[in-house]
């Protein structure tokens, strides 16, 4: 299982890298500073939210699946049957939005579905055989991958970040964030001049601080609740 996840993650990384380096052959890059900043901010919000979803979904499943003997239907699994894959999608989509353009985003969507859709179908067959009617009823009520807009907007209430959940994804989050920031800062410096270096550096530093504070707040709040519950 872990090998498969690593292979799929590597394929998504390679897809993002290929789209990034070939994007100039797809469509011209934004020439407006305002459009550039809007894309950066939107992309980082999607990127960060994707990691929060992935961390929560992975931890929640590990705490509630009971070694595969229980069908997980609560939390984020109540708005999508595959919140970890959805979180991975948002991470990649956010990175593409920051580093590239809208056409590249749609190309990424196609690549993502090509990589993950067959795996989703395989897992559905396994779960259907294991849980029968319970899983069928769950499928009738819950979207396969993309939550409805009505459920996605308040999805923040499902975000729960126990410290040991964060630890498992922290290195990949930090590496991805630093890579995106470094590439974007370097590229904007080349396009808009040396002054853009300090602007972009300040922007990504602020984003990192806000993200760290939010994660620390959610982790502290969740950990406090977890401790009280265990008592």
Q: How far is CA 134 from the centre of its chain?
A: 28
The torsion region of residue 72 among left (phi > 0), alpha (psi -120 to 50) and beta comes to beta
Is the separation of the CB atoms in 218 and 161 below 8 Å?
A: yes
**pLDDT tens digits for the chain (231 residues)?**
456 666 666 667 676 666 666 655 554 455 556 666 777 788 888 999 999 999 999 889 988 887 778 899 988 999 999 999 999 999 988 888 887 667 778 888 888 998 899 999 999 999 999 999 999 999 999 999 999 877 777 666 777 778 778 887 888 888 888 888 888 888 778 777 888 888 888 988 988 898 888 888 777 765 544 443 333
| Among candidate residues 60, 56, 230, 88, the one with its CA nearest the CA of residue 155 | 56
Burial class (CB in 10 A: 0-12, 13-18, 19+), 3: exposed
Which two three-digit tokens encode residue 47?
A: 């990127």
> Which residues 6+ apart lie within 8 Å of 63 measured at CB?
none
d(CA 31, CA 23): 14
Strands (E), the chain: none
Q: How far apart are the first and last CA of the chain?
A: 34
Q: What is the DSSP letter of 19?
A: H
What angle is formed at CA 229 by the lines to CA 224 and CA 231, rounded to 5 degrees? 100
| Among candidate residues 86, 99, 89, the one with its CA nearest the CA of residue 43 | 99
pLDDT at 229: 38
pTM: 0.80
């Amino acid at each position: 299982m872990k090998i498969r996840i690593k292979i799929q993650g590597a394929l998504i990384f390679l897809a993002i890298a290929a789209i990034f380096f070939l994007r100039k052959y797809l469509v011209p890059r934004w020439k407006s500073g305002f459009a550039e900043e809007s894309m950066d901010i939107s992309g980082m919000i999607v990127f960060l939210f994707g990691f929060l979803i992935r961390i929560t979904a992975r931890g929640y499943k590990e705490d509630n699946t009971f070694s595969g003997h229980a069908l997980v239907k609560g939390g984020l699994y109540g708005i999508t049957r595959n919140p970890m894959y959805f979180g991975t999608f948002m991470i990649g989509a956010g990175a593409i939005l920051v580093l590239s353009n809208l056409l590249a985003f749609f190309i990424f969507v196609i690549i993502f579905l090509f990589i993950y859709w067959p795996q989703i179908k395989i897992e559905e067959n396994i779960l259907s055989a294991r849980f029968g009617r319970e899983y069928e009823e769950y499928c009738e009520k819950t979207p396969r991958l993309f939550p409805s807009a009505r459920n996605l907007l308040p999805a923040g209430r499902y975000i729960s970040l126990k410290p040991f959940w964060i630890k498992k994804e922290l290195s990949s989050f930090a590496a991805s964030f630093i890579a995106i920031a470094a590439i974007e800062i370097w590229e904007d410096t080349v396009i808009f001049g040396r002054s853009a270096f300090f602007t972009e550096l300040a922007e990504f530093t602020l984003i990192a601080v806000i993200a760290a504070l939010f994660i620390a707040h959610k982790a502290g709040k969740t950990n406090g609740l977890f401790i009280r519950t265990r008592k």
